Amino acid sequence: MKLKIKGIEDAGVLDKERAVFKASADEDVGHYIVFKTKKSGETKVSSRPSLTFWFPDREIKKDDLVVLYSKGGVNTSTTNTKGATSHFFYWGQNSPIWNHSNDAVVLLSVDEWDLKFPGN
């Protein structure tokens, strides 16, 4: 995967709470989905995520940061002091989501998918 989890920052504080990711190569961040789930052991997580966020299509470059705030907001990007870009996305939650020690963030790469609507 070309996008890696750096961590969860300011957990439990809605205005600041965010999951942070870093690009190890150029990539379309729209190929990634974030799950909020629970730990089910030392190295395992539940396969039943409670929340899901699929990033919109956006090209990112190596060393860019991708920041997913739990709160609502408008997606933006800004160039940081090291010349890389920080891309800010918003989950739209009304309360903190990373407020328990057994919460876990999972990042999934999806390069292909299929779509079908009922009745079609």
**What domains are defined for the chain?**
3-109 (2.60.40)
Of 73, 72, 77, nearest to 88 (Cα)? 77
Dump pLDDT digits (tens) for 8-35.
Answer: 999 999 999 999 999 999 999 999 999 9
Give the three-class secondary structure for 10: coil
Q: How far, in Å, CA of 10 to CA of 24, rounded?
A: 24
Q: Is the pLDDT of residue 120 over 80?
A: no
Dump pLDDT digits (tens) for 65-113.
Answer: 999 999 999 999 999 888 899 999 999 999 999 999 999 999 999 989 8
